[in-house]
Amino acid sequence: MSEVDIRAERLKKLEKLKEAGMEAYPAISSRTASISQFLADFEKREKDAESATLAGRVMSLRGQGGIVFADIFDGSGRVQILLQKSEMPEALFELFKDAADTGDFVESTGIAFTTKRGEKSLKVSSWQMLSKSLLPIPDEWFGLKDEEKRLREREIDLLLNADSRDLFVRKSRFWSACRKFLEARGFLEIETPVLETSPGGAEARPFITHHNALDMEVYLRISAGELWQKRLLIAGFPKTFEIGRIFRNEGQSREHLQDYTQVEFYEAYSDYQGGMKLVQELYRHLAHEVYKKYTFTINGHEVDFAEEWKTIDFSESIKEHFGIDPIKCSEREAIDAAREAKMLPSGVEPNRERSIDQLWKHIRKGIAGPAFLVGVPIFLEPLAKRSPQNPEIVERFQVIIAGSEVGKGFSELNDPIDQRKRFEEQQKMRDKGDEEAQRLDVDYVRAMEYGMPPAFGFGVSERLFAFLEDKPIHEVQLFPLLRPKSTG
């Protein structure tokens, strides 16, 4: 039977409910216990013949004649309900047989009862429809096999697929563990604007929209409040963090989406070296709290978070693999090396900065990690503090896991004069067509001129969770953005 035919039959059953005087979509339920609570107290309930009212979705129906069995699920658990014509009003029993389907939400009142097969059940004395389903739910055994359909109808995937449900329970625990880790160390959770007049804090192409009330163009933020949180350092807040949504109008891949959740945190009077210790503790904490282990298989790499993390020098790696010094080489040498490695960025006029960055991305693919990448040239990081030992590099590190960058932190630049110069260099890159280069944020530079303490900052997105699950990032989002389904 086609979906159209099934829906037509269910509409007829909806009319039967109305004719019998039963509301098909009541506003409230009289449930007295969740299924998990009912099962936890089952023996006592059965012994005392205590009445209970359960509610849930009908997942299966079976039976004939004067007896009907159904399994209901309420999110906390699953239980069998038993309807017998001899144990309840006949009209109510017949209405269930004639009008109830798998997918319906029903409320059932009865007593705890163990069947001859030892099945813990609810023997029903009365029932009420809570929500009549009009579309059929796929068979539980087969579920949704098509990946696109699973993402488009995630609610059905979650209903039928325990693995999917468990994944998103773990994701909730992941962010909860992250929050508790930071709070336990004195960090204050804050919220910063999502709409900005100038997107900053990262190198990315923003989404642009129009603010009708103020009649101006605004941007969806591309970082979880980096520049705002540093203004809070100026304001005297020593430790802050935000777990929030950010938006980048860029390409999609196994590791990239346009909107995703990220945590960023900032600590005054610390630097990148102290930050590396904190981040190592955080990653190990997340692995143990959520998964109770430290070793993972990620993108074909074996990664052990408990082992000693390696430190990799950016410039030394480039020299070793490509024979050029990324700091001293000319633009021509950098472009030629990137072209030979077939790593030239697309859509952007080749330059020294982007070519060097692409060479590193070629190297990192073979690094399992976890490792810290250090020694990054200043032209690749406009917001980090210069190294006092070598002013051509910055005090920045990136966490390398399974051939990818999964988190970045640095000693924050707090020199307003240096910051303005770097913003101006980034603006020159924008003027040459690099849409991901950062903008000059005059307000932020002015705030810095009031004085900003030395500080450490770090950010990591839900890519880390996707890596721990060893799944593409769109599969660990509840409702990832998809093109509208064609109606043609």
79-112 pLDDT, tens digit per residue, is: 999 999 999 999 999 999 999 999 999 999 999 9
* Closest listed residue to residue 106, CA positions, set 83, 75, 122, 128: 128
pLDDT at residue number 482: 84
pLDDT at residue number 133: 96
Q: Is the pLDDT of residue 139 over 90?
A: no
pLDDT at residue number 487: 56
pLDDT at residue number 98: 94
Query: Cα dist. 64→118, 133, 301, 446 in Å?
Result: 20, 22, 54, 78
Do 453 and 231 contact (CB within 8 A), yes or no?
A: no
Mean pLDDT of 450-471: 96
Query: Cα dist. 68→64, 115, 124, 137 in Å?
Result: 6, 13, 10, 20
User: Which domains are present in the chain?
Assistant: 3-137 (2.40.50.140), 159-309+369-476 (3.30.930.10)
DSSP string, 161-200: -HHHHHHHHHHHHHHHHHHHHHHHTTPEE----SEESS--
Of 413 and 147, the one with more pLDDT: 413
Of 348 and 455, the one with more pLDDT: 455
pLDDT at residue number 419: 87
**Token duo for residue 355:** 């070519």
Query: Is the peptide bond prior to 370 cis by the omega test (within 30 degrees of 0)?
Result: yes
Do 239 and 265 contact (CB within 8 A), yes or no?
A: yes
Give residue 11's identity as a one-letter amino acid code.
L
pLDDT at residue number 235: 96
Do 446 and 362 contact (CB within 8 A), yes or no?
A: no
Helix axes 442-449, 416-431, angle to 10 degrees: 170
pLDDT at residue number 395: 92
Mean pLDDT of 107-136: 95
- pLDDT band for 435, please (50, 70, 90 cuts): low
Do 121 and 127 contact (CB within 8 A), yes or no?
A: no
- What is the spatial distance between Cα 462 and Cα 263, in angstroms, rounded to a whole number? 8
* Closest listed residue to residue 178, CA positions, set 223, 244, 231, 227: 244
How high is the mean pLDDT of the chain?
Answer: 90
pLDDT at residue number 347: 61
Cβ contacts of 14 within 8 Å, gap of 6 or more: 24, 99, 132, 134
Q: Is the pLDDT of residue 383 over 80?
A: no
Tally of CB atoms within 10 A around 51 = 13
Percent of the chain with pLDDT over 90: 65
Least confident of 107-121, 192-206, 335-349, 446-460: 335-349
pLDDT at residue number 432: 73
pLDDT at residue number 83: 96
DSSP 367: -
**Token duo for residue 42:** 């089952």
- pLDDT band for 330, please (50, 70, 90 cuts): confident
Mean pLDDT of 23-43: 96
Mean pLDDT of 306-311: 95
Query: Cα dist. 476→41, 154, 165, 320, 369 in Å?
Result: 35, 11, 11, 37, 22
Q: Is the pLDDT of residue 163 over 70?
A: yes
pLDDT at residue number 156: 87
- pLDDT band for 142, please (50, 70, 90 cuts): low
Q: What is the separation, in whole angstroms, between the first and last Cα of the chain?
A: 23
Q: Is the pLDDT of residue 141 over 60?
A: no
Mean pLDDT of 385-395: 90
Q: What is the pLDDT of residues 193-220, one digit of tens each?
A: 999 888 776 677 889 999 999 999 999 9
Mean pLDDT of 118-123: 96
Of 338 and 303, the one with more pLDDT: 303
DSSP string, 202-230: SS-PPPEEEETTTTEEEEE-SSSSHHHHH
Percent of the chain with pLDDT over 70: 95
pLDDT at residue number 345: 60
Q: Is the pLDDT of residue 471 over 90?
A: yes
pLDDT at residue number 143: 58
Q: Is the dihedral of CA 80, 84, 89, 95 positive or negative?
A: positive
